[in-house]
Amino acid sequence: MAILAIDQGTSSTKAIVVEGDEVLAVAERRVRPEYRAGGVVEQDPEALWQSVLTSGRAAVAEAGATIEAVSLANQGETVLAWNRSTGEPLTPALVWQDRQAESVCTELADHADLIHERTGLLLDPYFSAPKMTWLRRRVPDGVVTTSDTWLVHRLTGEFVTDTSTASRSLILDLARVDWDPELLDLFGLGDEELPALVPSDAIVGTTGVFGGDIPVGGLIVDQQAALLAEGCVEPGTAKCTYGTGAFLLANRGTDPSPHPGGLATSVAWTMRGDTVYCADGQVYTAASAVRWMSDLGLIDSAAELDTIAAEDSGGVLCSPAFAGLAAPWWRSDAGASLHGMSLSTGRGEIVRAVLEGIAAHVAEMIDLGEAPERLRVDGGLTRSATLMQAQADLSQVPVDVFGSEHATALGAVATARLALDDSLSLDDALVGWSPARTYEPHWTAARAEGFRARWRAVVEADLTGKDVS
């Protein structure tokens, strides 16, 4: 069966057509968020929609195959207000990185423990509900939902979201996998029209925008889709995606309890009648930190990272909190920093320090739980051997690079296959893969811990205003 999978991400929309284990076609359209002062990160919803249409149609035309289903992986926490009758957007889309809803979280600080216990998430404007509340206070009309609901409505006319996306909201009871009335009231969303919750292995409607009348199903958050594609289907297996941010996810099986180490807990997927959970943490800026270096002229593009990065950072350490710090600090007010520079510091040392800072943060999150035997990785920045070797060294586990550039879309392919065929097993739905490259740790454990201790001291100094000792 040929599946059209659409990965609608922060920086691009990618559409691929897959039949069996073969990728027949790939089409990608860039979408660029607008970053402004005050933590504003917004996207034009119509640009997102057009990128879905143009990439999807281009992939279908290139593949020349009969498409049996369309699946969609989405950004997870990006929200907008829109007209339920016409589908017209009423606001820009507030991207998951957007911090404008910080005031909403401040108002609800006394309820943080309840929210964490009920949802598995930390009270932070990264998640959907604070942004929904912030928009609702400014736009009295229409509905306020995550971007997937709006895109699916444009495709099919249906008003739905899948459980993995809903679990990123702060208003879903994680154990019951249902909207929580008490939390809805806390966020001032008690009267809001909410989309119906569906599993990831469901057909939710049909669309004619790609030719014919094609079933639409296999809805899932982008990071959970990558977790699935990389075969992390057993508890304890983990992956990290290096895209706009770096996203670490670890399979927790059927355990919905809050993570004891400070990571978030979310629905990985609901399929075949069962809900599987995952622990997750984020470095909010990975490729976006690389783009910052490019904007400053330190590099021309990400392709230059390995040629520009120095062999050693010369003692320079970077806290890559360009859009705040996630787990385990959860400090949206944190800023990025470079420590230890001197007159001898050049762009090579800065580039290496930024890459090592990203890897150090991921390593810290890995240590919050039971370390996996291997870390599976995907995303554009896995092309950087400097970053991947730093990740292996600082995490002290082998790093396996996913054998395809399309992990998220391939995960969505698997969910669509399961939606189409009730008799198909999860293993049979996955596209086979083997590592494109493996990075073994070169540093000793003592060296890795020494570096990370110095890096943690820099982060804590930034947060407390104290000198690094």
d(CA 99, CA 111) in angstroms, rounded, equals 19
Residue 183 has pLDDT above 90, yes or no: yes
Q: How high does pLDDT run on average in the chain?
A: 95
Sign of CA dihedral 129, 133, 136, 138: negative
d(CA 317, CA 357) in angstroms, rounded, equals 7
Determine how β-strand 143-146 pairs with β-strand 79-82: antiparallel
Q: Which run of H or E residues covers position 271? A: strand 264-271
**Exposed/middle/buried for 7, CB within 10 Å: 0-12, 13-18, 19+?**
buried
Q: What does the pLDDT average to over 384-412?
A: 96
Confidence label for 260 from pLDDT (cuts 50, 70 and 90)? confident
Angle at which helix 287-295 crosses helix 347-366, to 10 degrees, equals 170
* Cβ atoms within 10 Å, residue 188: 16
With H, G, I as helix, E, B as strand and everything else as coil, classify residue 431. Answer: coil
What's residue 167's pLDDT? 98
Residue 469 has pLDDT above 90, yes or no: no
What's residue 14's pLDDT? 97
Confidence label for 327 from pLDDT (cuts 50, 70 and 90)? confident
What's residue 156's pLDDT? 98
Residue 273 has pLDDT above 70, yes or no: yes
Cα end-to-end span (Å), the chain: 60
When mean pLDDT is compared across 42-46, 136-140, 161-165, 282-286, the lowest value belongs to 282-286
Q: What does the pLDDT average to over 34-54?
A: 95
Distances (CA, A) of 397 to 31, 270, 372: 34, 29, 8
Domains located in the chain, CATH noted: 2-223 (3.30.420.40), 283-400+439-464 (3.30.420.40)
Confidence label for 464 from pLDDT (cuts 50, 70 and 90)? confident
| Residue at 314: amino acid letter | G
Q: What does the pLDDT average to over 45-51?
A: 97
Q: What does the pLDDT average to over 127-142?
A: 97
Residue 210 has pLDDT above 90, yes or no: yes
What's residue 467's pLDDT? 66
Q: What does the pLDDT average to over 133-149?
A: 97
Confidence label for 59 from pLDDT (cuts 50, 70 and 90)? very high
What's residue 261's pLDDT? 85
What's residue 332's pLDDT? 81
What's residue 465's pLDDT? 78
pLDDT in tens, 68-99: 999 999 999 999 999 999 999 999 999 988 99
What's residue 323's pLDDT? 86
* Cβ atoms within 10 Å, residue 314: 17
Q: What does the pLDDT average to over 254-282?
A: 94
What's residue 468's pLDDT? 61
When mean pLDDT is compared across 4-8, 98-102, 208-212, 321-325, the lowest value belongs to 321-325
Q: What does the pLDDT average to over 243-267?
A: 92
Q: What does the pLDDT average to over 447-452?
A: 97
